[in-house]
C-alpha cells in the first residue's frame, strides 16, 4: 500500500471536488480507502459500488454514469 501514500501532496487536493467510486470487491477495499485516503482528503465523497471489483466503469457502467452525472450536477463548489 506504500504506493498510495498521498500525505505529502494531499494539500494540493483541498480545493478540488473529489468523488471516489470504489468497488466493494476491489483488492483496495473501501475500508482501505477510508483508512489511507480520506483522512487526508476529508471532503472527498466515497461511494461503494456493490458487487464490483476494480473495473467499476466496465462492471457497472450505468451506475457509474449516474453517479458521475449526479456529482457533476450537484457540484457548485467549482
Res 2 pLDDT > 70 = no
Q: Give 46's strand partners.
A: 20
The domain segmentation of the chain, as residue ranges, is: 18-43+52-78
**Beta-carbon-side half-sphere exposure of residue 20 (alpha carbons within 13 Å):** 22
Q: Read off the pLDDT of residues 27-73 as tens digits, 9 standing for 90 and up.
A: 999 999 999 889 888 899 999 999 999 999 999 999 999 999 999 99
- pTM score of the predicted model: 0.79
- Please give the span between the terminal C-alpha atoms of the chain, in angstroms, as a whole number: 31
Distance from C-alpha of 59 to C-alpha of 9, rounded to nearest angstrom? 30
The pLDDT assigned to 76 comes to: 55
The pLDDT assigned to 26 comes to: 96
The pLDDT assigned to 7 comes to: 76
Amino acid at each position: 500500500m506504500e504506493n498510495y501514500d498521498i500525505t505529502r501532496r494531499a494539500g494540493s487536493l483541498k480545493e478540488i471536488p473529489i468523488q471516489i467510486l470504489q468497488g466493494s470487491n476491489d483488492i483496495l477495499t473501501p475500508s482501505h480507502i477510508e483508512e489511507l485516503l480520506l483522512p487526508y482528503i476529508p471532503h472527498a465523497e466515497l461511494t461503494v459500488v456493490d458487487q464490483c471489483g476494480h473495473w467499476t466503469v466496465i462492471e457497472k457502467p450505468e451506475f457509474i454514469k449516474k453517479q458521475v452525472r449526479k456529482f457533476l450536477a450537484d457540484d457548485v463548489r467549482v
